[in-house]
Amino acid sequence: VSIKCVAWLTEAPGAFVTGDSEAGVLRIWIVSKEKPEESLRLKQVGFKAVCVLPSESVATTKEVKGKVKFSSRVICLFFDGGVGVYNLRNSSWDFLRNM
């Protein structure tokens, strides 16, 4: 795992995301655990930066099948110039501009 960038998930104390510098993998972590809660392959190229968008409503987390599901949206910048907003709740892109 080669971490390029980190951002705290403001909806849950101790939760954060990391962006991989080589493989375009977004990982969701909880500080009390050694391994990521979830790994999401979003693109074939590495991340340049990630930033969690502030929520206009009260952010919530919920547990689904033993996994914590977050409601944050994450701005993702990639080394190929691509940019997107990834929705953790829906596990999909709200916006993606590939380069």
Question: Residues 41-94: pLDDT tens digits?
Answer: 999 999 999 999 987 655 566 666 667 778 899 999 999 999 999 999 999 999
Per-residue tokens: 24: 């375009």
Burial tier of 88 (Cβ tally within 10 Å: 0-12, 13-18, 19+): buried
pLDDT, position 43: 95
Q: Return the pLDDT at 59.
A: 52
Q: Average of pLDDT values for 31-44?
A: 94
Residue 13 and residue 57 in contact, taking contact as beta carbons nearer than 8 Å: no
The pLDDT of residue 39 is above 60: yes
